[in-house]
């Protein structure tokens, strides 16, 4: 089986999530918007599921592996819904004038989040479609925690690295710097995996492409007028509609990916010919 130590790397991402979101989420869990819960719970469960998939595949636990895989079909809509919940709270905060950070980086955040949605949908769809080709299936599924890595790791940088500490409004540009550095680290990891395994690791090139696109969206499109307009429009839409849209996208991805990966039916003529 490919990537036999992958579950340790995925658990590392889980530890990064715990540390990165401790100040803003876990330590204040009773005082945060519901959108944070929607994203935090779904994303954490998703990372645990990916680690479980990797561990079971390498420890001769294939029945449990298949069960967890089928469970992912039901979890994935909640993952995308949770991500759209973060889009919603970002847009609502911008429209209401909640804090200067969203006023400075709202469009960049929206651009990065939209790329993340596209990345999750693409990677998971292809993981399902190629689930009978182990290298391809594993590569695409293991790419999903990489998309998540940037957000908590950038927070670790601001919390624990003095050079990136936010001491006042004059340091707000460091927020974007930490995001880009975290994405650069993710991109370097994708490149390292591909350089080791080459063509067998082509799914990591796809993941790396999305990470690079996210860097462009967040680092270079922060002044795009259409993103600011989109942010305002989303801010005026009911939260339930934004989250439901994400859930529908996730559900359609699960359905389409599962059906795309089904074995093709053998025709009667092919059976008669011994194919």
pLDDT tens-digit map of 179-207: 999 999 999 999 999 999 999 999 999 99
- What is the per-residue pLDDT for 204? 98
The per-residue pLDDT for 218 is 96
List the domain range (segments joined by +) for residue 29. Answer: 6-260
Band (pLDDT 50/70/90 cuts) for residue 158 is very high
Q: What is the mean pLDDT of the chain?
A: 94
pLDDT at 265 over 70: no
The band of 267, judged by pLDDT with boundaries at 50, 70 and 90, is: low
Are residues 50 and 144 in contact, defined by beta-carbon separation less than 8 angstroms?
yes
CA distances from 63 to 170, 227, 249, 265 (A): 54, 45, 28, 24
> What is residue 49's predicted lDDT score, i.e. its pLDDT?
97
User: Could you give the residue ranges of the DSSP H alpha helices within 161-267?
Assistant: 173-197, 202-220, 225-236, 239-260
Q: Which residues make Cβ contacts (< 8 Å) with residue 114, sequence separation at least 6?
A: 87, 217
- Is the residue at 77 inside a domain? yes
Output the pLDDT for position 266. Answer: 56
Residue 5: predicted pLDDT: 92
Interior/surface letters 28-41, b for 16+ CB within 10 angstroms, e for the rest: eeeebeebbebbbe
How does pLDDT run across 242-253, given as a tens digit for each residue?
999 999 999 999
Of 43, 35, 54, the C-alpha closest to 17 is 43
In a domain, 265, yes or no: no
Does pLDDT of 41 surpass 90? yes
Structural domain count of the chain: 1
Position 269 in a domain:
no
d(CA 183, CA 174): 14
Residue of 240, 36, 242 lying closest to 151 (CA atoms): 36
Distances (CA, A) of 93 to 58, 99, 131, 220: 44, 8, 40, 22
Is the CB of residue 22 less than 8 Å from the CB of residue 73?
no
pLDDT digits (tens, 9 = 90+) for 53-93: 999 999 989 899 999 999 999 999 999 999 999 999 999 99
Helices first, then strands: H and E counts in the chain: 10, 0
Burial of 70 (0-12, 13-18, 19+ CB in 10 A): exposed
H/E run at residue 61 = none
Does residue 274 lie within any of the structural domains? no
């Amino acid at each position: 089986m490919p990537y036999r130590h992958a579950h340790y790397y995925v658990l590392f991402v889980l530890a990064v999530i715990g540390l990165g979101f401790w100040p803003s989420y876990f330590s204040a869990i009773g005082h945060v918007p519901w959108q944070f819960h929607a994203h935090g719970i779904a994303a954490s469960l998703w990372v645990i599921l990916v680690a479980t998939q990797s561990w079971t595949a390498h420890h001769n636990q294939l029945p449990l592996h298949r069960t967890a895989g089928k469970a992912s079909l039901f979890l994935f809509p909640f993952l995308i819904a949770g991500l759209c919940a973060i889009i919603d709270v970002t847009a609502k905060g911008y429209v209401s004038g909640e804090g200067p950070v969203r006023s400075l980086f709202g469009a960049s955040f929206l651009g990065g989040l939209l790329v993340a949605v596209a990345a999750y949908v693409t990677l998971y769809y292809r993981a399902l479609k190629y689930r009978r080709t182990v290298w391809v299936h594993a590569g695409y599924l293991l790419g999903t925690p990489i998309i998540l890595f940037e957000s908590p790791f950038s927070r670790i940088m601001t919390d624990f690295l003095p050079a990136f500490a936010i001491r006042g409004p004059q340091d707000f540009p460091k927020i974007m710097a930490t995001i880009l550095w975290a994405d650069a680290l993710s991109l370097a990891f994708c490149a390292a995996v591909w350089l080791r395994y080459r063509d067998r690791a082509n799914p990591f090139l796809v993941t790396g492409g999305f990470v690079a696109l996210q860097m462009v969206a967040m680092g270079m499109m922060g002044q795009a007028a259409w993103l600011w307009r989109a942010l305002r429009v989303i801010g005026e839409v009911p939260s339930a509609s934004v989250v439901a849209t994400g859930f529908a996208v996730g559900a359609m991805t699960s359905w389409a990916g599962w059906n795309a990966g089904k074995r093709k039916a053998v025709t009667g003529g092919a059976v008669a010919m011994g194919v």
